Amino acid sequence: MDSLKRVLRTPLGVGALSMLGLVFLLAIFAPLLWGEAASETDTAHLLAPPSAEHWVGTDSLGRDLWLRTLVATRLTVLLALGATALGVLLGILLGSAPALLGRRIGRFVTAAVNILVAFPGLLLCLFFAVIFGVGEVGAVFAIGLAGAPTFARLCHTLVAGVQERDFVTASRIAGRSRAYVLFKHILPNIAEPLVVQATIGAGSCLLTFSGLSFLGLGVQSPAFDWGRLMNEGLNRIYLNPLAALAPGLLVITAGLAFNLTGEAIARAFNVETSGSWVTATAAARTAARKVPAAFSAANTVPREVLRVTDLQVGFPGSNPVRGVSFDLRPGEALGIVGESGAGKSLTGLAIAQLIEPPGQVDGEITFLGMPLRPDGGEDQRKLLGTSMALIFQDPMSSFNPARRIGEQLAEISRVHQGMNRRAAWERAVDRLRAVRISDPQRRAGQHPFEFSGGMRQRAMIGMGLMAAPKLLIADEPTTSLDVTVQQQVLDLIDSVREEEQVALILISHDLTLVAERCERILVMYAGRVVEDIPASALAVAQHPYTRLLLAAVPTLATDLDSPLAVIPGSQPDPSTQFSGCAFAPRCPLADDICRTREPLLRNAIPPIDDTRKKPGLGITLKTSRMRLELNLGGKPGSPVHTGQVACWHKGEPLPAPTLIDDDLPDETLAGVGR
Amino acid sequence: MSALENAASGGDFLSAGARHWVRFALRRTGQLLVSLWVLITAAFAMIHLIPGDPVRSSLGLTASQELVETTRQNLGLNDPLPLQYWHFLQGLVTGDLGMSITSRLPVAEIVATRFAATAQLALSAFALSVVVAVPIGVAVAVRTRQGRGRVLDLGFAGTSVVLGSIPDFLIGVILVWIFSVSLHLLPVGGRTGLSSYILPVLSLAVGPAAILSRIVRVEMLSVLEADYVRTARAKRLSATRIHLGHALPNAVTASLTLGGLMLSGMVAATVLVETVFAWPGLGSTIVQAILVKDYPLVQGVVLVYGCGVLLVNTLVDVAMTILDPRSAVIR
């Protein structure tokens, strides 16, 4: 009853079940009500066309064809159900054979079923119809047997899925017989999909049966079902098309009723997958979109590769990126760090113009002097295709599995640089060599699945180098790789950057990685940049969030027995509205100002000490629980914060628990809290 | 450069790719041989599984015992079973499928004259449904992704479900009613010129096209969200190139299994559609043969249909392996 209610909750379920109900009502009551009238001969109206008296006309004996069509419902449905029952029963037997009879016989049965499944049902049907003979009983057997393999295959798959579950294994270990396990544990657990399939199966049995009767191989005179009536009606289609069409219409209706009911049951018991986006909002946003200034043929070569001003990314109901601005010089390496959900990946995608509706990008992005627009024309496509390269997190899925690596690289040169097939292929091989893939000629001819993860990521970088990139956006390029491979890939990115003077945006959640590889770091929180800081100055970071992040980085010196440091609380959801600083709820320094007014990015406070005299300083921070050692890679320059910070309390020491290593001069302190 | 050429250019040693191919070819050939044996044996066994004397039931109760005996002798039904099986296999190799009981013509001859008519129907219907369904599926997927185009989505779902649920022979009857009976545009049946192909091909193609377009749409929707499509967009390829060059091949690979089932289903569906249109092919032949109990003829047509299906299935597997080389490794 409960399951019936679930099916009835959807419009599809209501519609399908009422259709099916109608068919069953007809099957039960039509013969009782009109059974006699349907076999009454009217010699005055032989082969009459449709009239007020006979809606669908009469047959050669003057019997009313409409009544005969209605009365035929019972036989049609009964025969279809009979065939279905036979098919389902046989199917379950064959499908559970491996579970019931053991592996060896089971494998044989499965192989046989697999061979039979390859043949269309109708062919099997004809084959069995020959053996069982023409007639309704023969047809029931033929259709039932023909449907069994498909059902068996499904049943087998389902049984195999349940068989390895713990409760089944437990029952088997407890010494229960195979039959007991099958009927007590396995079949009840696959009942729902079986019911769905049986219902849909009943629909196709009905259609097949009508087909056989239509061919004259099923129900024989004087009995009649819809197929038989159509068979008789087809010969007279010029004189009385309705004679064939009326039973045909009922066949379609009944078939659809079974199919849709099956579908409705399936939906009622599965989770709906397609989400419903609010498309209206997206449309409204598109209309309100600011039109960026037209691309003026810039006669002055821009000093920066990329200029981002007040970048915003919105989706219906949320604003994951809320105003990001920065510039990028040629060859500069910029890291973007933050927790997941901080908006760093979306920032990268927005710069690359890869946000798709319903996502919406606002703000200005100027790349190599050209303002980028979501609907940018051919010029923009060419510029981005040749000058901006992207590397994504998962190299396993970022290549098209159906095409050769070489082809995928060569495509860029073919599309954007007009190279011919051979030249583009040579370029691809050359680029693969450039990213240190051995035997590039052979490798180029391989498919992605023949590459390891690290090789794919290198090939991905090679793809970015096909033309003449000026900017490389790498979004978590090493997250899914082994640690040793990570270093290789990052080294490769470094050398590419040096050799080709490519600017880099490295997006990562890993602060130490970014600090090692980049000159400048944007720390993002809840869709905003909270600190824009030279990597060399991390030790004197002024935003509490940056400092807490630093403190949460474990090092070799971290006490393994202590729990990893974490920042308590979590980022605000991008769909919520809040006033004040987004970090305030988690910030040890937060006060009333922080909670009411959002701080803007302002220059970091100037250093008040003489730290600039100590270049390449290594810093050791120590908390009550852990020691943090940050090696700034010997980069020249003193830790002076020349960037920007968005905080009302920038640079203020964090409250206890704070512990400072006594060995260090006071000037280098960074507050550390937990 | 095709995968085959690539495998061949592996030089003096077999590359990993080529080894997959060899293994795939061996396994697939094995499968094909087993299926073929099952088919042949089933066709042979058919006559012997019929309850009673097939010759008696074929010739009717009024036929003389003498005639029945001669026919049995001619068909070799009095030989021991293994010998009959041997003769049957020998016949197959030499292209001898026996004699039709009713027409007394060699079965091979009847099948040969009717084969082309059926193959034309099935192949043109298959081509038509692919040509129509794939673009529709792709276009609907592109326009309805991520919850866009709700109206189109609903309309497409409804239409395709209904069209996909109507059996081919009923579509045939409806088409005849519309285009032959009401509009007098096209012939009601027979195989007379190009215009007589239109309705049978349409009736075979509509249902499968509806189902195929649904599958293509679903596959396309999931492929469009794949990382490598994002990569393709990052390469700034045109929308056409992304959809047709990068997404479609992957969507089609997954739809191909269904395409194969569809084609073999179409081969079988010719049985019904040929009857509607009085089409002189194998389908109408086998129905008539079953009705008059001409078992050797039934046997012959079953064999041809079965071989057709096996051929289609094998071709689909090979095509799939070329399109998606992983499948040769995984399966």
Question: A568: which strand partners?
Answer: none
Instruction: Clarify whether residues A118 and A250 are in a common domain.
Output: yes
Residues A250 and A367 in one domain: no
**Which chain B residue lies closest to A358 (C-alpha atoms)?**
B146
Whole-model pTM: value is: 0.73
pLDDT band at A660 (very low <50, low <70, confident <90, very high): very low
Q: Is residue B168 part of a domain?
A: yes
Do the Cβ atoms of A276 and B313 come within 8 Å? no
CB nearest to A245's CB, from B17, B177, B227:
B177
**What is the rounded distance in angstroms from the CA atom of residue A385 to the CA atom of residue A370?**
14
Verify whether the Cβ–Cβ distance B34 to A394 is below 8 Å: no
- Report which of residues A295 and A144 the model is more confident about: A144
Question: Taking residues A305-326, what's their average pLDDT?
Answer: 88
- The reply to whether A159 and A214 lie within a common domain is yes
* Lowest model confidence (mean pLDDT) among A21-35, A240-254, B143-157: B143-157
| Residue A333 in domain | yes
Q: How confident is the model at residue A557 (pLDDT cuts 50, 70, 90)?
A: low
**In chain B, what are the helix, strand and coil shares in percent, each to the nearest 5?**
80, 0, 20
Task: Residue count of chain A, please give it.
Answer: 674
Q: Considering only residues B156 and A577, tell me which one the structure prediction assigns the higher pLDDT.
A: B156
Would you place residue A556 in the very low, low, confident or very high pLDDT band (cuts 50, 70, 90)?
low
| Residue A600 pLDDT | 82
B34 in any annotated domain: no
Summarize the confidence of residues A290-300 as an average pLDDT: 33
For the beta carbon of residue B191, count every other beta carbon within 10 angstroms.
Answer: 18
DSSP symbols for A616-628 = T--EEEE-SS-EE
- Answer whether residue A288 shows pLDDT above 60: no
Per-residue model confidence (pLDDT) at position A80: 94
User: Which of A76, A131, A260 is the best mutation test for B, with the most CBs of B within 10 A?
Assistant: A131
Per-residue model confidence (pLDDT) at position A27: 93
**Which chain A residue lies closest to B160 (C-alpha atoms)?**
A256
Question: Among all chains, which residue has been given the structure tokens 């007589």?
Answer: B196
- For residues A565 and A551, is the Cβ–Cβ distance under 8 A? yes
> What domain count does chain B have?
1
B250 to chain A, closest Cα gap in Å: 6
Is B17's CB within 8 Å of A442's CB?
no
Cβ-Cβ contacts under 8 Å between A and B: the total is 193
Q: Is A152 within 8 Å of A90 (Cβ atoms)?
A: yes
- Please report the pLDDT score of residue A182 as a whole number: 83
Say yes or no to pLDDT of A637 above 60.
no
B237/A415 touch (CB, cutoff 8 Å), yes or no? yes
pLDDT at position A555, please?
Answer: 63
Collapsing DSSP to helix, strand or coil, A323 comes out as strand
Shared-domain flag, residues A488 and A395: yes
Local structure of residue B128 (DSSP, 8 states): H
Question: Is the per-residue pLDDT at A271 higher than 50?
Answer: no
Tens of pLDDT along B57-96?
A: 778 778 888 888 888 887 778 888 888 899 889 888 888 8
Instruction: Please check whether residues A518 and A598 belong to one and the same domain.
Output: no
- Does a structural domain hold residue A232? no
Is residue B28 a part of any domain in this protein? no
A200 within domain boundaries: yes
- The gap from C-alpha A266 to its chain's centroid, in whole angstroms, comes to 21
Of A83 and A637, the one with more pLDDT: A83
* Identity of the residue numbered A326: F
Q: Is residue A560 part of a domain?
A: yes
- Binning pLDDT at 50, 70 and 90, where does residue A561 land? low
Domain that includes residue A665, residue range: 539-638+647-669
Structural domain including B201 reads: 107-330
**Do residue A87 and residue A189 come from a single domain?**
yes
Enumerate the residues of chain B whose CB falls inside 8 A of the CB of residue A216: 287, 291
Has residue B292 been placed in a domain? Answer: yes
Phi-psi region of A640 (alpha: psi -120 to 50; beta: other; left: phi over 0): beta
The span from the CA of B128 to the CA of A364, in Å, is: 48
For the cut 60, the answer to whether the pLDDT of residue A462 exceeds it is yes
In-domain check, residue A624: yes
pLDDT above 90 for B47: no
Comparison of pLDDT for B329 and A454, the residue scoring more: A454
Least CB–CB distance from A214: residue in B162, B264, B272? B272
If pLDDT is split at 50, 70 and 90, which confidence band does A663 have?
very low
Residue B82 in any domain: the answer is no
**Is there a contact between A68 and A229 (Cβ–Cβ < 8 Å)?**
yes
Question: What's the pLDDT at B328?
Answer: 54
Q: Is residue B185 part of a domain?
A: yes
d(CA A483, CA A593): 43
Q: What's the CA gap between A435 and A427, in Å, rounded?
A: 12
Measured distance CA(B331)–CA(B24) in Å, rounded: 8
Candidates A119, A277, A400; nearest CB to B250: A400
pLDDT digit string (tens) for B219-257?
A: 888 888 888 888 888 888 888 888 888 888 888 776 777
Domain count, chain A: 3
Q: Is residue B262 part of a domain?
A: yes
Please judge whether A255 and B309 are an interchain contact, meaning their C-beta atoms are less than 8 angstroms apart: no
pLDDT at B9 exceeding the cut of 60: no
> In which band, very low, low, confident or very high, does the pLDDT at A559 lie, cut at 50, 70 and 90?
low
CATH code, domain with A246 = 1.10.3720.10
Instruction: Indicate the SS3 state at residue A482.
Output: coil
Average pLDDT value for residue range A238-264: 89
Q: What pLDDT is stored for residue A655 in this prediction?
A: 66
Q: Is residue A52 part of a domain?
A: no
Q: Is residue A47 part of a domain?
A: no
- Residue among A251, A398, A416 whose CB faces B231 most closely: A398
- For chain B, give the percent of residues with pLDDT over 70: 92
A617: pLDDT strictly greater than 50: no
Residue bearing the bigger pLDDT, B318 or A336: A336
Q: What is the pLDDT of residue B212?
A: 87
Would the pLDDT of A293 be above 60?
A: no
pLDDT of B177 over the 70 cut: yes
Among A109, A126, A132, A250, the strongest candidate for a mutation testing the B interface, having the largest count of B CBs within 10 A, is A126
Contacts of A238 in chain B (CB under 8 A): 181, 188
Q: Which two tokens stand for residue A593?
A: 């100002």
Please check the confidence at residue B5 and state whether its pLDDT lies above 60. Answer: no
Do A120 and A184 belong together in one domain?
Answer: yes
Within a domain: A44: no
Same-domain status, A266 and A293: no
B296 → chain A, closest CA residue: A130
Q: Which residue of A has its CA nearest to B46?
A: A131
B310: in domain: yes
CB contact under 8 A, A123 and B268: yes
pLDDT band, residue A563 (cuts 50/70/90): low
Q: What is the mean pLDDT of chain A?
A: 79
> What are the chain B neighbours of A220 within 8 Å (beta carbons)?
none
- Is residue A74 pLDDT above 90, yes or no? yes
Question: Quick check: A94 pLDDT over 70?
Answer: yes
| CATH number of the CATH domain containing A497 | 3.40.50.300
Which candidate in B14, B165, B252, B329 is best for mutational testing of the A interface (most A CBs within 10 A)? B165
Pick the most confident of A177-181, A311-315, B322-326: A311-315
Structural contact between residues B126 and B263, judged by C-beta atoms closer than 8 angstroms:
yes
What does residue A336 show for φ and ψ, rounded to 5 degrees? -120, 120
Residues of chain A positioned with their CB less than 8 A from the CB of B226: 397
The string of pLDDT tens digits covering residues A514-538 is 888 898 999 998 888 888 888 888 8
A276 vs B34: CB contact, 8 Å cut-off?
Answer: no
Question: Is A492's pLDDT higher than 90?
Answer: no
**Residue B136 is part of a domain; what is its CATH number?**
1.10.3720.10
Largest distance between two CA atoms of chain B = 82
The amino acid occupying position A500 is E
Task: Say whether pLDDT at A386 is over 60.
Answer: yes
Segment B184-208 shows an average pLDDT of 88
**CA atoms of B263 and A124, how far apart (whole Å):** 16
Q: So what's the pLDDT on residue A270?
A: 58
Is pLDDT above 80 for A36? yes
Q: What pLDDT digit, counting tens, does each position of A394-405 carry?
A: 777 888 888 888
Residue A309 in 3-state DSSP? strand
Contact A202, A84 (CB under 8 A): yes
Would you state the structure tokens that stand for residue B48, as one six-digit string? 């012997």
